Amino acid sequence: MGRGSVPWASVRLLVVDDESELADAVARGLRNEGYAVDVAYGGEDAVEMVRLNPYDLVCLDLTMPDIDGLEVCRRIRDDVGSGVRVLMLTARDSLDDRVAGLDHGADDYLVKPFAFRELQARVRTLLRRDSDQTDSVFRVGDLALDTAKHSAHRSGTELDLTAKEFALLRYFMAHPGDVLSQEHLLEHVWDENADPFTNTVRVTVGTLRRKLAVGDDDEPVIETVVGSGYRLVTGAS
Q: Are strands 12-16 and 57-61 parallel, antiparallel or unpaired?
A: parallel
Q: What is the mean pLDDT of the chain?
A: 83
| Furthest C-alpha separation in the chain | 60
Q: What percent of the chain has pLDDT over 90?
A: 36
Once rounded to an integer, what is the mean pLDDT over residues 213-226? 78
Measured distance CA(215)–CA(41) in Å, rounded: 47
Instruction: Reply yes or no on whether the pLDDT at 1 is more than 60.
Output: no
State pLDDT tens for residues 148-171. Answer: 778 899 988 899 998 889 889 988
Sign of the CA dihedral 161, 194, 23, 75? negative
Residue-range domain boundaries for the chain? 12-128, 137-232
Answer whether 12-128 and 137-232 agree in fold: no
Query: What SS3 state is found at 209?
Result: helix
| Superfamily name with CATH number, domain 12-128 | Response regulator (3.40.50.2300)
Of 64 and 11, which is predicted with more confidence? 64
Extended strands (E) in 49-168: 57-61, 85-90, 108-111, 137-140, 143-146, 151-154, 157-158
State pLDDT tens for residues 96-116. Answer: 877 888 888 889 999 888 999
State pLDDT tens for residues 52-100. Answer: 888 889 999 988 988 999 999 999 888 877 678 999 998 877 788 778 8
Please tell me the predicted confidence (pLDDT) of residue 11: 65
Measured distance CA(83)–CA(92) in Å, rounded: 26
CA dihedral 222, 8, 123, 192 (to 10 degrees): 60
State pLDDT tens for residues 170-195. Answer: 889 888 889 999 888 888 888 766 67
Of 202 and 192, which is predicted with more confidence? 202
Please tell me the predicted confidence (pLDDT) of residue 128: 74
Instruction: Reply yes or no on whether the pLDDT at 130 is more than 90.
Output: no
Interior/surface letters 152-169, b for 16+ CB within 10 angstroms, e for the rest = bebeeeebebeebbbbbb
Instruction: Reply yes or no on whether the pLDDT at 10 is more than 90.
Output: no
Measured distance CA(128)–CA(1) in Å, rounded: 8
Extended strands (E) in the chain: 12-16, 36-40, 57-61, 85-90, 108-111, 137-140, 143-146, 151-154, 157-158, 179-180, 222-225, 229-232
Give the distance from CA 70 to its chain's centroid.
23
Please tell me the predicted confidence (pLDDT) of residue 9: 44
Please tell me the CATH code under which domain 137-232 is placed.
Answer: 1.10.10.10
Residues written for the chain = 237
pTM: 0.63
